[in-house]
Amino acid sequence: MQVIGSTGGHGIQAGYDFTWTVGEPVVATVNNFTRVLTQGFHQPDVCVPTTHTLDLESIGLEVFPNPTSDALHIRYDASVPSALNFMVVDMLGNVVSVPQQLAPSGASELNTSDWAPGVYFLQFFDKQSNRSSTVKVVRI
């Protein structure tokens, strides 16, 4: 989870990872049974590591330039057997780019010229291992 806030903190106690903020109240919460998005500051939540995270470093995945204005380049080790797919969502959880598979060559380009300036989440998922991971991208 990532939150932009004026004050708050982060701590680890007894193996649990806690993050908190102080500020505006939550205005809306959207839930699609796999993800929860809150407008305003995040709700109290206990984050426990899971084994369903896709290790982007192990496949040499790179997303650049970040921040970007016109295009994002996605590069990964094509010799790693994987069926990598990705989609892009904005800060409100709206789908900006429908799910699509990365090029098997190990390099893909994503046109960002029609995106509004802001923060987006590039969500990668591997259908074979059922693992996923997210990269935050800034469009300037």
Residue 135: what pLDDT? 93
* CB of 139 closer than 8 Å to CB of 74: no
Produce one character per residue of 58-67: b if its CB has 16 or more CB atoms within 10 Å, e if not: ebebebeeee
Secondary structure letter of residue 68 according to DSSP = B
Pairwise CA distance, residues 104 & 6, whole Å: 43
Beta strands 131-139 and 118-126, pairing class: antiparallel
Pairwise CA distance, residues 133 & 140, whole Å: 23
Residue 1: pLDDT over 80: no
CATH 2.60.40.10 fits 57-139, yes or no: yes
Secondary structure letter of residue 59 according to DSSP = G
List, for residues 14-58, the tens digit of each pLDDT value: 777 766 666 655 556 666 656 666 655 555 555 555 546 888 888
pTM metric for this prediction = 0.62
Nearest-5° Cα angle at 137, 6 to 70:
130
**Residue 113 — pLDDT band, cuts 50, 70, 90?**
very high
* CB of 22 closer than 8 Å to CB of 5: yes
Residue 44: what pLDDT? 53
| Domain boundaries of the chain, sorted by first residue | 1-49, 57-139
